[in-house]
Amino acid sequence: MDRARLVSAGLALGLAAITAVPVAAEDTTLTLMTHDSFWLPEGVIEAFEAERGVEVRVLHSGDAGAMVNQAILTADRPLADVLFGVDNTFLSRALEADLFEPYVAGELAAVPARLQLDPQNRVTPIDVGHVCLNLDRAAFGVDGLPWPETLEDLADPALAGQLVVENPATSSPGLSFLLATVAAFGEDGWADYWTALRDNGVTVASGWEEAYYGHFSGAGGGEGELPIVVSYASSPVAEVIYGADPGAEVSPTAAVEAGCFEQIEFAGILRGAEQPELAGALIDYLLSPAVQAELPMAMFVYPARMDVALPPAFEQHALVPAEPASLDPALIDAKREAWISEWTDIVLR
């Protein structure tokens, strides 16, 4: 599939908003540390480079957890100027390690206050995603399996052996789904819930790709046989665009609102950055309307800004949970490893 497309003329408007930072020398390099899923269409980064006279080096650093760990280990001599992709499941760890310099983005007011989790503005919200259960529509209906409406439904014997989840020790969506169950059932009840899922034959994959393409029956080009998977609210959009029937009126998969967990991704200027002014300009650029408009079709996430219209495919096929689950980042940081360890003892023993 060819997802690359040139930036629209509106990109110039986004650039105009950040021209207060001086143009850099031609041999200046700005390093962006990010996770392996970071991708922007052809021309987006290049437009910033041309405007600022800078070369942007993208340093992919594994998943969000691995990236944060690497940034902490190299904090005294940071590998980059900007870090993008730390989310609310690892935010407290990054803030406690004092990784970032405070920075107030020029258009931060366009971002809802509920997404601005750090009152010191050490990180800036860039996008929002929702980890949700996805269903293969073909497996459900009048003559098929009962459509699960709640998390409790997944433990119904009628859905025994139909669910695949990712391991929270090795997968960001797996961790998010675990946190969603903690939010739903409380610290005293989530373990019993997972015991019920284990007894009902839940399958565990190491990561999203293995779960979605290796086990899920609704994945275009996949080889799986299980009709329920932990994926994203926007995954049905991807199936319409890149699946077996591009442009279908109805996606072959559907996201379920029960158990959705909100992931907020942030960018921040790393303390000790060699190019702090340009780092701030890059954060402003990522938050500009033109770049925010590119995010849904580039990484299948929602823009952090409220004033950016979603593409028609998102409007038609993506789920926007009314009340996604969330937990205090400080609580996540304090309990994450213990919860993962207990989950492992319950599900993988």
**Picking from 20-34, 276-290, 316-330, which range would have the lowest pLDDT averaged per residue?**
20-34
Domain ranges for the chain: 11-128+263-315, 130-262+324-347
Q: In sequence order, what are the residues at sequence separation of 6 or more whose Cβ sits closer than 8 angstroms to the Cβ of residue 11?
A: 43, 44, 47, 290, 291
Percentage of the chain exceeding pLDDT 70: 93
**pLDDT tier at 161, thresholds 50, 70, 90:** very high
Model pLDDT for residues 116-154, shown as the tens digit of each residue:
999 999 999 999 999 999 999 999 987 789 999 999 999
Of 137 and 25, which is predicted with more confidence?
Answer: 137
Paired with 128 in beta bridges are 264, 302
In the block, residue with structure tokens 């001599």: 77
Q: What is the pLDDT of residue 220?
A: 83
Rounded Cα–Cα distance for residues 39 and 42 (Å): 9
**pLDDT tier at 62, thresholds 50, 70, 90:** confident
Does position 67 have pLDDT exceeding 80, yes or no? yes
CATH code reported for the domain at 130-262+324-347: 3.40.190.10
Q: Whole-model pTM?
A: 0.83
**pLDDT tier at 278, thresholds 50, 70, 90:** very high
Domain 11-128+263-315 has CATH 3.40.50.720: no
Model pLDDT for residues 218-230, shown as the tens digit of each residue:
988 788 999 999 9
Does position 16 have pLDDT exceeding 50, yes or no? no
Paired with 15 in beta bridges are none
Q: Where are the beta strands (DSSP E) in the chain?
A: 28-34, 54-60, 82-87, 100-101, 124-136, 163-166, 203-205, 228-232, 253-270, 302-303
Q: What is the pLDDT of residue 252?
A: 93
Instruction: Give start and end residues of each alpha helix (H) in 107-189.
Output: 172-185
Q: What is the pLDDT of residue 112?
A: 95
Domains 11-128+263-315 and 130-262+324-347 share a fold: yes
